Amino acid sequence: MDYWQSIILGFQVALQWNNLLFCFIGVLIGTLVGVLPGLGPVAAISLLLPTTFHVTPVSAIIMLAGIYYGAMYGGSTTSILVNIPGEAASVVTCLDGYQMARRGRAGPALGISAFASFIAGTIGVVGLMLIAPPLAEMALKFGPPEYFSLMIMGLTILTFLASGPMWKALLMAAFGLFLGSIGLDNMTASARFTLDIVELSDGVGMVPAVMGLFGIAEVLLNVEHSIKRSVFETRIHHLLPTLRDWRDSLGSILRGTFIGFFLGVLPGGGAVISSFVSYAVEKKVSRTPGQFGTGVIQGVAGPEAANNAATGGAFIPLLTLGIPANSVMAILLGAMMVHGMQPGPMLVQEQPGLFWGAVTSMYIGNVMLLILNLPLIGLWVRILKVPYPILFPLILLFCLIGAYSLNNSVVGVLIMVGFGLLGYLFKKFEYEAAPLILALVLGPMLEAALRRSLLLSAGSPLIFITRPISGLLMLISFFLLAYPLVPWLRRKRAILPQATDEE
């Protein structure tokens, strides 16, 4: 495998002016939604998906990916300055970031989180480049049973790591699987659960569902209790971390990168979880764990590195197996299919320009983000002051236009509004929407893999256990499911803090 040639090809694609422009738009929007609390990358990407129909597939993927990792950068700003996470993966950054800002060290906090994000983001992309092509080779070993078991494991991990009791998350995943079965049967084309509504024969659209569950529900919830924001009015100075800051945080950044990348690769893992794990690890390796929560720079650097590295890792199962690791990747999968690309083992070989172009654009995007985030922090702070009475109606408007324009049909709008109300109730009763979304997307794939596996084995479910890769994946899922039943283990799981909003 000639990496250099591929990388040069990638840069040739990524450095075309229109791709540079889309990369910039992507990271700009990403930073914007990252900065603004209540708007996450999931909602932003699903909102902007229809707008990419006119551009080339490469540009579309570059822009949508830019939104995703851009949001990881932007989220920290809000956490540090306002003590409200801009998006879910920045929840832990609040703990020490805000304390640093209160002690007058907002500058170094913002600086180190930008640098940590940059370093981790870049290493994550390198990892993606090195691991994805050989993994795609190996992916031919993945037949229907392996796909089935991998998707089961992904759903199990997600429900396992969700906040709140596991049965709630499992319930949501099951509901998502049911929603995924609405529409025409994928093998025989007979209608299921469509209630004779023509628009439902294509299934419940993922985009209106996501916009409802995340966009509309978030607005409804925020209207209920207005977020109090006290943005630091003082000038932010000393953005560049000192030598001592660097010495303190370099280890954290590297550890965070490692954790983030590998948790990102796992289906069901992702940015949110890895930031929590990284914080826990930093606290554990620190000589002064008691200081955490009072403004320790490691507590900012580690998680910020982790959530950015996770974005690189999360692309691996999508680009090599065609399986989305989290809800953002699920939407990207939809986007790629809209553009006529089938992510999977053949993607690297058949569309090298697209694959390497998208990957190298992430390098460029990371540089752009560093530039956007350091000198322009003042600008983002100002955006934070947009009054919600102006912001929320705008979000609603965009959601409505977006849902309608998908098929020019009111049914899409109704589905979105329905999911908006549902999402509001879910939040109220503390049910997480993430397992639902992933299950909705995986559902049809899961079903096809199950049916094909059983055809291969002439009806015997043992095929999932006797094939080694599939058996191993099933074993992991089994342990995760059995975990909460063992009392002393249950306590450990409860330590994982609340979050996983957007993932």
Partner 1 sequence: MKIAMRQWLTRGMGMVGGVCCFLLVFMLALPGVAPAQEKYPAKPINFIIGYPAGGTTDICARPLVSAAAKILGQPVVVVNKPGGGSAVAVALLKTEKSDGYTIGILPSGAVLSQHMRKVPYDSAKDFTPIMQYAVYLYGMVVQTDSPWKTFKEFIDYAKANPGKIRYATAGPGTPQHLVMERLAIQEKIKWTHVPFEGGGPAVSALLGGHVEVISQTTEWKKHVESGRLRLLAVYGEKRMPDFPNAPTLLELGYNITAPSLISIIGPKGLSPQVVDTLHGAFKKAMDDPDFIKAGNQMDQPFLYRGPKDLEKHLVQMNDEVGTLIRNLGLRKE
Q: Do 415 and 204 touch, CB atoms closer than 8 A?
A: yes
Q: Which of 345, 412, 435, 443 binds partner 1 (CB under 8 A)?
A: 345
Q: How far is the CB of 343 from partner 1 (least distance, A)?
A: 10
- Cβ atoms within 10 Å, residue 56: 17
- Considering only residues 403 through 432, tell me which ones interact with partner 1, judged by CB under 8 A: 405, 408
465 forms part of the interface with partner 1 (CB under 8 A): no
DSSP 192: E
Q: At what angle do helices 17-35 and 57-82 cross, to 10 degrees?
A: 30
* Alpha carbon distance 103, 476 (integer Å): 45
Which of positions 367-386 make contact with partner 1 (CB under 8 A)?
379, 382-383, 385-386
Q: Is 186 in the site for partner 1 (CB under 8 A)?
A: yes
Interface region with partner 1, contact rule CB under 8 A, candidates 79-87, 126-134, 194-202, 422-430: 194-202
Q: Which listed residue (2, 190, 230, 235) binds partner 1 by CB under 8 A?
A: 190
> What are the angstrom distances between the C-alpha of 379 and each of 25, 32, 117?
16, 10, 19
Q: Does 73 bind partner 1 (CB under 8 A)?
A: no
Residue 370 contacts by C-beta under 8 Å, 6 or more apart in sequence?
114, 115, 117, 118
Among 18, 242, 288, 342, binds partner 1 (CB under 8 A): 342
- Annotate each residue in 205-234 with x if it binds partner 1 (CB under 8 A) or - if it does not, as one string: ------------------------------
CB of 418 to partner 1, least distance (A): 21
At 324, give phi and psi (nearest 5°).
-75, 135
* Side chain identity at residue 478, one-letter code: F
Yes or no: say if 207 and 411 are a contact pair by the CB < 8 Å rule. Answer: no
Count of residues in contact with partner 1, rule CB under 8 A: 50
Report the C-alpha dihedral over residues 43, 47, 52, 57, rounded to 10 degrees: 30
The whole-angstrom separation of Cα 501 and Cα 95 is: 17
The span of 120-128, 198-206, 263-271, 272-280 binding partner 1 (CB under 8 A) equals 198-206
User: Residue 122: in which H helix or E strand, if any?
Assistant: helix 106-138
> In the complex, what is the shortest distance from the CB of residue 226 to partner 1, in angstroms, rounded to a whole number?
14
* Closest distance to partner 1 from the beta carbon of 148 (Å): 12
- Residue 460 CB, nearest distance to partner 1 (Å)? 12
Q: Given the rule CB under 8 A, which of 64-72, 150-158, 425-433, 449-457 is the region that contacts partner 1?
A: 449-457
Separation in Å, CA 200 to CA 84, 197, 206 = 38, 5, 12
| Minimum distance of partner 1 from residue 207's CB (angstroms) | 13
- Supply the minimum distance, in Å, between the C-beta of residue 230 and partner 1: 13
Q: Which of 3, 202, 223, 498 binds partner 1 (CB under 8 A)?
A: 202
With a CB cutoff of 8 Å and minimum separation 6, the contacts of 407 are: 199, 205
Q: Which of 192, 229, 238, 452 binds partner 1 (CB under 8 A)?
A: 452
3-state helix, strand, coil in the chain (%, to 5): 75, 0, 25
353 touches partner 1 (CB under 8 A)? no
Nearer to partner 1, 295 or 443 (CB): 443
What's the angle, vertex CA 411, arms to CA 406 and CA 412, rounded to 5? Answer: 35
Listed ranges 137-145, 233-241, 246-254, 257-265: which one lies at the site for partner 1 (CB under 8 A): 137-145
Asked if 340 touches partner 1 (CB under 8 A), the answer is yes
Is 297 in a helix, a strand, or coil?
coil
Q: Which residues pair with 183 in a beta bridge?
A: 192
Q: Is residue 458 involved in binding partner 1 (CB under 8 A)?
A: yes
What is the C-alpha separation between 486 and 285, in angstroms, rounded?
28
51 in contact with partner 1 (CB under 8 A): yes
- Cα distance between residue 437 and residue 435, in whole Å: 6
Nearest approach, Cβ of 437 to partner 1 (angstroms)? Answer: 21
Residues 201 and 467: their CA atoms lie apart, in Å, by 35
Positive or negative torsion for Cα 162, 165, 169, 172:
negative
Of 350 and 430, nearer to partner 1 (C-beta) is 350
Segment interacting with partner 1 (CB under 8 A) among 187-195, 206-214, 232-240, 271-279 = 187-195
Of 289 and 393, which CB lies nearer to partner 1 in the complex structure?
393
* Min dist. Cβ of residue 357 to partner 1 (A): 17
> If you search the block for the tokens 């707008």, which residue do you land on?
51
* Burial letters 419-448, b for 16+ CB under 10 A, else e: bbebbbebbeeebbbbbbbbbbbbbbbbbb
Query: What is the smallest separation between the CB atom of 391 and partner 1, expressed in angstroms?
Result: 9
Measured from the CB atom, the residue of 238 and 451 that comes closer to partner 1 is 451
CB of 348 to partner 1, least distance (A): 13
- HSE, CB side, 13 Å, CA atoms: give it for residue 465: 5
Q: How many Å apart are CA 430 and CA 166, to the nearest integer?
A: 12
- Which residue from 20, 21, 143, 483 is in contact with partner 1, where contact means CB under 8 A? 143
Dig out the tokens for 268 from the structure.
């069901």
Binding site for partner 1 (CB under 8 A): 32, 48, 50-51, 53-54, 140-144, 184-191, 198-199, 201-202, 337-338, 340-342, 344-346, 350, 379, 382-383, 385-387, 390, 394, 398, 401-402, 405, 408, 448, 452, 455-456, 458
